[in-house]
Structure 1
C-alpha cells in the first residue's frame, strides 16, 4: 500500500501545474495551492491539478523569455569605476530629452517607480541611493530575494535609465534620479542566459505596485497572447482587470511594445500585453551614426528603430530605445554607440546556486525594453511637479506635448515622440 500511495503522489505531482483562476467561479480552494492571492481583481494564481478547476474560469499560467533585438557582436562593457570623465557624453538619449535642463526644475522628488523586471543590482554605485529595500519583493519561485545583489543586467539597465545618480561625479545619469525605486523581480534564474517569468507573477507585481502607491510601474516585457484562440480570451480579461485596477489606483504602467518589427494593428487574434487599459505602450527610436558616422549622426534620435513593433492605435508614444545600422559593415566603427548606455550588474553564483558576488558596470543595450523606462522616468518627473495628478492626467500630459516627426508615419509613435522637458515645464 505504501508503494501504491507513493505512485499516486508522483502522478499527482506530475500533473500539477500553475493556473490563473477567477476566484468567484472556483467551487473550492481546498485542493489548490495559492501562489498569489489577488483579491483586488478577483483572481488567484494557483498550483493545482486541472480536474479540481472543473466549472471555474481559468487559464494555464505560462513562462515567458524576452527577446532582444540583434545588435551585432561586440565587446562594449565599461567596468565601474569608469576611467576619465563621466559617461554622459555617450548618453544621446538623455541629451535628446534635455534631462540636465529638466533637473533644474525637478529631479523626481517625492515619487516612486516600480521596476517589474529581472531585479535591480541595488549595490551599483549609481543606484544604491535609490532602491527601497523594504518595499522590494521577489515574486519568483527562486530563493534569491529582492532587491540585489541578485539583480540581473536587464533590470539594472532599466532601473538606471529611470534613476541613476546624477550627482556622484561619474558614471551615467537617469531621468529622475530623486525618485524612489522599488525592485519587483519577476524573472527567475537571473544568473543564467535563459531567464524567464511566469505571467501570473507579473499580474501579482502589477497589483502590488498599485497597492504601494507607485506613480509608475515599468514593464519591459513585450510578450503576446491570443484573445480569441483557446485560452487567450480569459488571459486577456485577467490582464485587463489588473491593469485597470492599477490605473484607478494612480499607477501609470509603461509597457515595452516588443522587438520583432511587426504590426500590432491588424492582427485581430493576437495582441501585445501592452494593449490593455491603464498604460502607455512605448515604441523605440534611436539615431544612426552617433559618434561613429563618417559625417556625424546620419539619422536623428527620433528615427524609428529597425526592430520596433508599431501600430497607430496600438502604440501610445515613441521614446529613445536605441537603434543599430544592421547593413553597415563591421569596419564602420562603434555602431553600438547608437544603443542606450546605462547601468548593468552581473551576479555570480556557484554550481550549487550560492551567490558569490556581483560585478557592476555599464553597457549599451537596445530594445523597446530601453524605451519604456524613458517614459516611466518622465512620468515621475511630471508627477513631481504636479503631485495631485492622477494616472490619466499624467498620461495625458505626456501624450499632449509629444508630436509625430514630419518625415515619419504616426504608426510608429501614436501620439508622438516623447518630450520630457516640455512635459515638465508646460
Structure 2
C-alpha cells in the first residue's frame, strides 16, 4: 500500500484516546439555579424560566427559584442539573491529522480498516442510507468540512448549550465532527473518506460547550428533540461512569429512562458508547453507566486491530479488527454489540510513511484543526482535515450508520426491529467472550 502522496510535513495533535466517553465523570458541581423537573402535566410556577420544553414527555429544564418548585402543585419532583466534565487522559501518544486541502485519499482508502472489515462497500450495493435521518448528540459538527456538507441538515441542527453559538463547534474539539464522519462522510466529491450511511440526513445536536462540559439536562433535551424531528437513529458517544444508583442517581436514571423510552416509542433507536474505563459493568454492584445502561439503549463496545499499519492486511495483524480494545467497558447484559472503535499498542512507534505505526490501528475519519489566520497568536479558524481517534465513541457511530442502512432497506421497521436485525446478524467471534460483544460483532451485510 502506497501512502507517499500524503504530506511530508504532518501536523500533529490529539490524544490517543480521543473519545468524549473516556474517563467522563459526574462531578459534584451541581447547578444552584438550573433544575430538571418532572411535572404533573400542568403549568410551571411563577419564579422559574423554562430553558428546555420537551414536547411529548412530562419533563422540563428550568432556571430560577428552588423554593417556587418545592411549593408548586404542578411539580412531581426535581433535582439540580449536573455537568458532565471531560476528564480525558493525558496524551500518551501524538496522532497525526491532515488538512483537507492536502489529503489525497480515495474512496475505499486503505486507512479505513473499519469500513473494510464491516464490508461497507458491499452494503452500499443495497443502500447508502437514503430516506433516513441520524442525529449526532455530541460536541458539534463542522459544517464546512467537505465530507459533511452534503449530509448535514442545517435547518434542523441545533445548539442545546447556553454558550450563544450555533450548532458548529465553538472553541471546542473535533470529537463530534469525527463521530459524524464515521456515520455519514460522503467522500467530499471523491477525495475524502467514507461514512457508513453517506446518504442519510444528518442532524447535529451540540450539547458540549466550548469549555468542554455538557449539561445532563441538555442531553435529555437533545434526545427528545431527535425523536420529535423524526430521527431514525440518535448517536450518543458520551457518558458518565460511575454513577451511584442511590440518592440523586435514582432521579437522574429515572428521567433519563423517561426520555429514552419516549424516543424509542417515537421510532428513534438510541446507539450509545459503552465507555472506555475497562470496567465490568455486569458486576459493578451499586454503580451504573449512563446513558448506555438506560432504558432502550443499544450499548456498543469497541474493537480494533493491533499492527494494521505494518502490513495493511487485517488477516496478518497481531490482533484482528474484531478483537476487544484494551480500554472498552464490557459486561454480557450491559453490551448490545461490538464494533470497530480502534485499539493501539504504543510500543509500535516506528513510522510508516511518516506516521507512527500504532496510529493506523485507530479509526480514521473527519476532523479539524485550529489555525491562527489573523496573526494575533491565537487559533481562530477551523481547518477541515482527517485524522485518527479511538474509543467506544468511534464504535457507536459505526453501529448508528449500520442502523440507518437497515432502516433504509426496511423503511417499515420500527426502532426495535432495526435493533433486532442488527443483533440477529451478529456473532461472537471465535476465541472471545460474550461479555465483550453482547449479541456479537457488527455484521452489516447480513443485517440488511
Same fold (TM > 0.5):
yes
> Over residues 309-338 of structure 1, what are the superposed CA-to-partner deviations in whole Å (9 max), with x where a residue is unaligned?
011001100000000114x26448510110
Structure with more of its chain in helix, by fraction: 1
Structure 1 residues 70, 320: closer, same or farther in 2, change over 3 A? farther
Matched, 1:179 2:200: yes
Consecutive unaligned residues of structure 1, counting only runs of 5 or more, are 1-13
> Over residues 92-114 of structure 1, what are the superposed CA-to-partner deviations in whole Å (9 max), with x where a residue is unaligned?
00000011111111111011000
Question: Is the CA contact 2:147–2:188 (under 8 Å) kept in the aligned structure 1?
Answer: no
SS at match of 2:40: helix
Question: Is the CA contact 2:31–2:80 (under 8 Å) kept in the aligned structure 1?
Answer: no
The number of residues matched between the two structures is 405
The Cα RMSD (Å) is 2.7
Structure 1 residues 421, 47: closer, same or farther in 2, change over 3 A? same
Aligned to 1:224: 241
Rounded to whole Å, the distance in 1 between the matches of 2:418 and 2:231 is 13
Rounded to whole Å, the distance in 1 between the matches of 2:392 and 2:156 is 26
Rounded to whole Å, the distance in 1 between the matches of 2:228 and 2:248 is 28
Rounded to whole Å, the distance in 1 between the matches of 2:44 and 2:118 is 53
Residue 342 (structure 1) aligned to one of 361, 365, 369: 365
1:151 Cα deviation after fit: 7.4
Residue 99 (structure 2) aligned to one of 65, 79, 91: 79
Between stretches 355-364 and 333-342, larger displacement belongs to 355-364
1:74 Cα deviation after fit: 1.7
Residue 155 (structure 1) aligned to one of 168, 173, 176: 176
Aligned to 1:282: 300
Rounded to whole Å, the distance in 2 between the matches of 1:230 and 1:386 is 43
SS at match of 2:364: strand
Question: Is the CA contact 1:123–1:149 (under 8 Å) kept in the aligned structure 2?
Answer: no
SS at match of 1:40: coil
Structure 1 residues 419, 116: closer, same or farther in 2, change over 3 A? same
Structure-to-structure mapping, 1:22-33, within 5 angstroms: 22-24=38-40, 28-33=44-49
Residue 125 (structure 1) aligned to one of 146, 149, 160: 146
Rounded to whole Å, the distance in 2 between the matches of 1:25 and 1:182 is 29
Question: Is the CA contact 2:95–2:359 (under 8 Å) kept in the aligned structure 1?
Answer: no
Question: Is the CA contact 1:227–1:234 (under 8 Å) kept in the aligned structure 2?
Answer: no
> Over residues 248-301 of structure 1, what are the superposed CA-to-partner deviations in whole Å (9 max), with x where a residue is unaligned?
000000000111101111223211111122220000000000022699411100
Question: Is the CA contact 2:141–2:176 (under 8 Å) kept in the aligned structure 1?
Answer: yes
Question: Is the CA contact 2:139–2:169 (under 8 Å) kept in the aligned structure 1?
Answer: no
Aligned to 1:258: 275
> Over residues 231-256 of structure 1, what are the superposed CA-to-partner deviations in whole Å (9 max), with x where a residue is unaligned?
11111100000000000000000000
Question: Is the CA contact 1:139–1:186 (under 8 Å) kept in the aligned structure 2?
Answer: yes
Between stretches 86-95 and 364-373, larger displacement belongs to 86-95
Please report the TM-score for the alignment, with normalisation by the length of structure 1. Answer: 0.89
> Over residues 404-426 of structure 1, what are the superposed CA-to-partner deviations in whole Å (9 max), with x where a residue is unaligned?
012111010000000112112xx
Matched, 1:372 2:396: yes
Between stretches 265-274 and 197-206, larger displacement belongs to 265-274
Question: Is the CA contact 1:111–1:179 (under 8 Å) kept in the aligned structure 2?
Answer: yes
Structure-to-structure mapping, 1:292-311, within 5 angstroms: 292=310, 296-311=316-331
Structure-to-structure mapping, 1:15-414, within 5 angstroms: 16-24=32-40, 28-54=44-70, 56-68=76-88, 72-86=92-106, 88-147=109-168, 152-166=173-187, 168-189=189-210, 194-224=211-241, 226=243, 228-273=245-290, 274-292=292-310, 296-326=316-346, 328=347, 330-331=349-350, 333-346=356-369, 356-414=380-438
1:230 Cα deviation after fit: 1.8
